[in-house]
Amino acid sequence: MTFIGWDNYKRALTDTHLSAAVINSILFTIGILILNIVIPVPLAVVLNDKKTIFRTGFRSAIYLPALTSIIVAGIYFRLFFGSGDQTPLNLFMTWLHLPARQWLYDTKITGIFVLVIMSTWRWLGTNTLYFLAGLQSIPEELFEAAEIDGANAYQRFWNIIIPGLKPIIVFVITILTYGGLRMFGESFVMWVNGSTPGDIGLTIVLYIYKTAFGHFDTGYASALSVILFICLMLINLLYIRFLGIGKKEESR
């Protein structure tokens, strides 16, 4: 072994594969943040409503995808979004008189879209249950007082539910950010052994894995791991500073 100082970190500054992996990871993280907050919150409100029929069964069913192995889920979505004309999605596109597409090999946008859909399918139920638990901690007296004051459903949602769910929203944002930036399994399974053509589905952790165990360049992979760790710590500090993690609500 030869100690090379900061050369691996300098190499990272001009690595085009790393820049592609960073962009893909950021796009993936933004996608799952949007879908896993915008969809689960209203869904949790519906499941928390006593007027919703079979709500207990829906609560159980919506969590089932989280119990699915990532290998099984990855193979299923790989087949569903396959490039052949007889794959389920392309058959549906043909039925709509739209051209079939190579979803996993067309562009980076479609590749990231497939990863976001797969991740959302797996973790939508879990995040919904988080918000559902938060809704049950909001005092019923607030909703009763709002109804007496004539507040409609929209006003109750924005003035009672969203402020009441703020700690859960912050928690979900935090775990989704970490999960998005360290995503590995989905991309590795979606493209066989992580062989993403043109870096379409390449993520930061997948690139570190391929560098270490594919090219056996462990020194550079270790440097990339340190960079990722530092970035995650900086994000954590920003969340503590701007999202108010750990701060107590001031009494009025």
Q: What is the pLDDT of residue 252?
A: 40
* pLDDT average, residue stretch 139-143: 87
Instruction: Look up the pTM and report it.
Output: 0.86
Q: What is the pLDDT of residue 30?
A: 95
Query: Which domains can be identified in the chain, with CATH numbers?
Result: 16-242 (1.10.3720.10)
pLDDT tens track for 173-206: 999 999 999 899 888 888 877 777 778 888 999 9
Which of 238, 37, 235, 62 is CA-nearest to residue 134?
Answer: 37
Interhelix angle for 108-136 vs 70-80, to 10°?
Answer: 130
C-alpha 252/C-alpha 235 separation (Å) is 31
pLDDT band at residue 32 under the 50/70/90 scheme? very high
* pLDDT average, residue stretch 7-13: 92
